[in-house]
Structure 1
Amino acid sequence: MLPDIEKLLQLQVADKEIRTLQEEIAALPKRVAAIEQKLAGTKAQLEKARTAAKGDEVNRKKFEAAIKDLQGKISKYRDQSLAVKTNEQYKALLHEIQFAEQEIRLNEDRILEVMVNAETRDREVKAAEAELKAETAEIEKEKEEARKITAADQAKLSEWNAKRDGLRQGIADDLLRHYERVMKFRGSGLAEVRDHKCMGCQVMLRPQTYNEVRNGEQLVVCDSCQRILHFDPANEMKETEAAAAVVHGRKRHRPKSDAPQAWFYRPDFGEEGEVLIVYSNSGDHSTRRIFEMHSGRQIGDVLSREGSYRLAFPEDMTDSTIRLNGHWDESEMDEWNSELPTAALDALHADLRAAQKEHRSTHHDHAASAAEHSAAS
């Protein structure tokens, strides 16, 4: 590996650490605000309970004042009744006295209700005060913890910034500018190459480009994402061993002919060439999605037709088509955003290699059997 690549890899690690720490530090005000928002809710609950208690006290005094006023009226009406001269006047005053006495009873009932409520209000206020006290202590603890984490992040950030400055010193200016430009827009300035693929953008590399990266004698940039490419033989070996385990480790499972979803490899799909096609039967309709074989990018839109896929898309079924193992839910495929995930693409590639090996083995056995039969005759 070129020394510049090694330095850039270290620089990328530093940049990612710095970005993570900066995001954590920037999140502190929001974290503290969220913590204080919890406290604000408890304070509002306490204030509501206190306001209700004060309202009850105001109402009680209002009812007591009304009773006192009514009692004064009754006393006045009784004094007036001693001086009336007609029976009608006496009845009118008696009616006023009865009405006032009725109002007094109503206000006394209201006072009793307020007194009963006051006990509940008092319990609510005390409970809210206790909750506020406990929550305040807990929140202060959380805020202090957040401050400690931020202080630690600040210290780490200073260390990483110093390390980053040191790493930048040993890298050529033009290479550094390219790295930083790609890093800004892509989130990373370098990408590893595995199985002929840029792991940054998942695009397959041209054989010449792949070999140049493997040789490690010059700087190579991905034509698709502009990341600087590097190669790790250890990881390539793991990929090779994993693929070999899939192909050679056990007999390949044959796809079910009546499965509601079917994946196919086709090497000659018009101008696109090698593609992966998936058909899904649903009721009286079927859909078709087409993906570029190497990059996994979806070609065109999802096509829907009436009938099962074999009846709906007969033009797709050629002698060169190979049925593959694979099944993903429609909802999951809808979330792929027009590109096969790496895991799905690798699984389909591995199964294709197994199918091709199986085909070659079968063809070899048939040829050997035919030769033996010819020799015997």
Structure 2
Amino acid sequence: MEPSPFLKNQEMPLKKSFSLRTLFNLFFVISLGLNAYFLVVQGRASSVDVTYATGLEEDKSVKVQMASLNSKPIDDSDMATSVHEEEPILGSEQVDEVPAYEVKQVSFDSSAQPAGRNIQTLQLKVRNSLNYTVCREMAKSECGSFAAHLARLLAWFLDVNRNMRNGDVLNVVYERLDNEGQFKVLQLTYKSGYLRKTLDANYYKGAGMKYGGYFDRDGKEIAQRIEDQQTPIAEYIEITSLPGDFRKGRRGHSGTDFKAEVGTPIRASFGGRVLRTSWNVRVNGYCIELDHPKEGVITRYLHLSRVLVKRGQYVKQGEVIAESGNTGRTFAPHLHYEVRSRDKKKTVYNPFNFKYHTSYHRNIPSQEDKEFQDVVSAYDALLQNNGIGEKIQAG
């Protein structure tokens, strides 16, 4: 007997249910097996990765320790000569920066020189301008800086932009210092057609001098100094800029720059009242402005490390009001000193020509004259023999 259609309809789902259940169970077992396999494999891989990463960290640690042991500190504390000490500061105006010179080493032939010193000579005949003349002989990357250094010395004798003549003869003995691109002029001689005489500047540091200076052959310092009672700074390395000095793309410099170590005492040039302190600090650094009604001027002191007075305070002539520094827009520690008229014209005065400032020239003491002349003779010998000479004393 054949089963009824109803029974047939019931048998079909029973078989189908059995078949699906079997497949589901089989799939479940396979899934468990695969999961177990991946867990084991990944566990081993993670162990390998951790071991490898740990090895890298240990290797990196060792390399860092080795680098630390091999590194040496760099001593940059030397107060070596540099050219532009700052950008021009005109009141509280904002100015753009001038790109610095790229400095590279240059050398000149010399058969011998004092042991341990890199002293060189340069002989030039002026053509067109001082800068053009120097740049014909030196690398362009540093000739502008060297020419500016020479101009600072010549400025005490003549107007470098107006009084130099084609054919003038310039001889220089200078020392290259340990720091690349830095140097110290030891002797400069200049045969001037305009003045019809030979000018000379010889570096010398006497026993009683904290800092050396440049003197003519008679022992008279070429740079002027302000009388002690009136000077804003008594101890300084050198004067690196004067009022009116040309700055590329700008108006003339508005003050006198005294290169000095940070912390040097700064004094009020005249008695007066503090008008303001530390304005436009980004450019001027810490600074002071004093009012002097009696003299008809105001004075400014810029790039300070410490200000010791307050607005409205009255100060006496010679009173310590601050300490020199290297704050604001500046390339080396120095004091920027300004003397301006109190009227609307705001005339900038050269302190060495100002009627209320008394200036003088320092002289070599008589007891040191022979030693000074020996140094000058040594410079002469180096120049004449292109590097052959006696040991030179230079501070």
Higher normalized helix content (fraction of residues): 1
Please give the TM-score of this superposition, normalised by the length of structure 2. 0.24
Please give the TM-score of this superposition, normalised by the length of structure 1. 0.25
Higher normalized strand content (fraction of residues): 2
Larger radius of gyration: 1
